[in-house]
Every structure is written in structure tokens, then in C-alpha cells.
Amino acid sequence: MSEPRVHRIAIDCRMWEASGIGTYLQNLAPRVIRRMPATQFALLGNAPSLADLRTDNVSVRPLTAPIYSVQEQWAVPRAVPGGTELLWTPHYNLPLFSPCPVVVTIHDILHLAMPELFPGWPKQLYAAVMFRAAMRKAGAILTVSRFTAEELSRLLGRWVARERIHIVPNGVDESWFDILSGPRPQEREYLLYVGNVKPHKNLRRLTEAFARIKDSMAVDLVIVGEREGFLTGDTELAAATKHLGDRVHFTGRVELAELRQYYRHAGALVLPSLYEGFGLTALEAMAAGCPVAVSRAASLPEVCGDAALYFDPADTEDLAAALRRLIGDKHLRGELTFKGKQRAREFSWERAADQTAEVIRNVMQRRDEP
């Protein structure tokens, strides 16, 4: 009797330690691997923590080619082991000439939806070419929200059949629901923003709205996240908030345990984004028991449901009014905290792993069909 066939999958893990996509990979990849114990996995990347995942069916292959580089177009295929049946890439920058079928995760299509944020034709051309290639070449496309799936159909529908798009929402780990002890990270009461400082995050408008309330409200604004982005750093934003003195605090990126303390003690999380493919920080905040106020835009209503206070991200006064209402209404904060925890329970990495593993199996099965 012949030995059963061993399936082989490679996962591009170069963004393992990045914010956003790194969180996605760290939570989802190990869970998918556990659901496919008879499959051999090769993790492509150079993050030291990948070594902790090595088991009998998991190997790690070094891959240092930068994201969005010309180099990755030949380095990624070369890193894929021979006999691999499927490559899973967690971002749209898949290799144009992959040695095997590809499953690609699309978190958002900001580059196409808001091209004005990406000045210069090289960046715009790269995004147009790579997104269209992903649509044509991928055996399946995972999106993290219905909003992103609809955006793909709206802007790239001519290059992809709708049945190849699978909506697999992000999750939140059970540990986020735990009630933590620990000191306050800030002495004064504060509103919280968590994320990067890229223009679509709309932080300039948030600081303008905060300036309108700061003299009447005894609360600070804390900005947690990457201090530099590929579009802009916090230097410009810091200059724009100079007149706010010590009422605005930039922490930079913090460790997970410290981030959870920021959520726990915040008066509210404020997410003023113009565009989001999902809005993971809102989900984390709700799970941690932090009330949230978010833009009535993009994927955020889909994620937050009736568990958030909404505002128009293009209207500074509407945002300021939402901040005043949150700070001044303890009952509202309590109601949003309760609803937020209930809402967050609807999102699970375990469910996401089940759905992702099913998509991967189906793509490999189609490959085997005559």
C-alpha cells in the first residue's frame, strides 16, 4: 500500500513583526497550522520568533527581501521549497511568477481607493499592477471584511470573479477579555488613539477637534503607535499639535501588555479614519472594555455595529461633539463598554482559522482535479 500523500504549503511571514498584518499573521497562521497537522508548512521570513513555531510539520526558511521591492519578485519564489502546492501571502504583493497556486489576503485597497495619498506615478503604477495581478493569479482571495470585498468588486471586478473572494473577518484573542490589574499609564484622564500616523488615519482632524474641547474638558489625548509611516511621520503632526502643549502625548509603539493597560484605563478609544479595511484596534478596545468612538466610514460600522459612538470623519465639529458627549456622559460610556464586549465576542481567530483552512484546502483540491 502506498504512503498517503503529504501536502506542502508555504506562508510568506516577512511581515510577522509588523503592526496590523503582523497581528493577523501571529494570530491566524499558528491556528491554521494546527488545523492541518498532516500538512508540511514552510514559513518564509526572518523574524526570530518564527523559530518558536518549528515542529515536525513546520520549518522556517530565511527570506529577507524587502516588502514592495523588485528583489522579492525572484526571492520569494526561490524560497518556496520544491513540491510546495500552495503559497499563502498575507498582503497583495504576491510574486508575479509563483511556482504554485497562491491564496492572497487583501486587508484593504487604500492604494487604489485613495490614490491622492500616494503621490508620484511609480507608487500608483505599482499598486495598479500588483492588485490586478493578485486578482488574476490568486486561486482564492481572502478579505477581512465585507467592505473590502465590495471595494474589490467595485474597483477590480473586471479582473476577478466574485466567487473567488472569501470574507474571513479578523478575530480577537480571548485574553483581551481578561480584567487586568496594573498602574495607569498616564496620570490624567485621557482619550486614546492606537495606530500609525498615516494621512488616511485623519489624526490632524482629531487633534483639531481635541483643541476645541481641551479648555472645557479635563482630559488629555494619547497617541499610541508607529512614530514613522511610509507616507508621513509624526514630525508634521507633532508640529501641528505644538500649541496643545502637554495635553497630547506621543508614546510610539508599545509592548502588548502596556497597550492593554492603555485600553483599560482610557476614557475612550477614538478612531477617526477616513478609510479602514477592518479596524482591528476598535475590536481590541471593545474586548478590553474600552468604549469606542469611530468614523461612520468604510468598514468601521460593519465591525462595531451598535457598540460605538459614530461621527462624520470629515466634520471637525461633529467629532468634537462626539468627544464632549463621551467625556461628559458616564452612562453612555458604560453602555458602550457593555455593548462593546458583547460585539467583540462575535469575532474569533478560531473561526477565522477554520474558514481560512477550508479555503486553502479547497484551492489545493481544485489543483488536484483533472
DSSP string, 76-100: HHHHSPTT--EEEESSS---TT-SS
For residue 245, pLDDT beyond 90: no
Instruction: Quick: pLDDT tens for 209-220.
Output: 999 999 999 999
For the chain, which domains are there? Answer: 8-171+348-368 (3.40.50.2000), 174-344 (3.40.50.2000)
For residue 231, pLDDT beyond 50: no
Q: Which residues contact 102 (CB under 8 A, 6 or more apart)?
A: 86, 87, 88, 89, 94, 95, 137, 138, 139
Are 147 and 165 a contacting pair, CB within 8 Å? no
C-alpha cell at 358: 477550508
Query: What's the whole-model pTM score?
Result: 0.92
d(CA 202, CA 257): 26
In whole angstroms, what separates CA 52 from the centre of its chain? Answer: 23
Share of the chain above pLDDT 90, in %: 80
Q: How many CA atoms lie within 13 A of 189 on its CB side?
A: 9
Are 174 and 354 a contacting pair, CB within 8 Å? no
Instruction: Quick: pLDDT tens for 94-147.
Output: 999 999 999 999 999 999 999 988 877 788 899 999 999 999 999 999 999 999
At residue 7, the 3 state secondary structure works out as coil
Per-chain mean pLDDT for the chain: 92
Residue 311's pLDDT is what?
99
Instruction: Quick: pLDDT tens for 291-338.
Output: 999 999 999 999 999 999 999 999 999 999 999 999 999 999 999 999
At residue 70, the 3 state secondary structure works out as coil
Burial class of 56 by CB neighbour count within 10 A (0 to 12, 13 to 18, 19+): exposed
DSSP state of 142: E
Helix, strand, coil % in the chain, rounded to nearest 5? 45, 15, 40
For residue 1, pLDDT beyond 80: no
Going by pLDDT thresholds of 50, 70 and 90, the confidence category of residue 42 is: very high
For residue 243, pLDDT beyond 90: no
d(CA 235, CA 121): 25
Residue 300's pLDDT is what?
99
Residue 167's pLDDT is what?
98
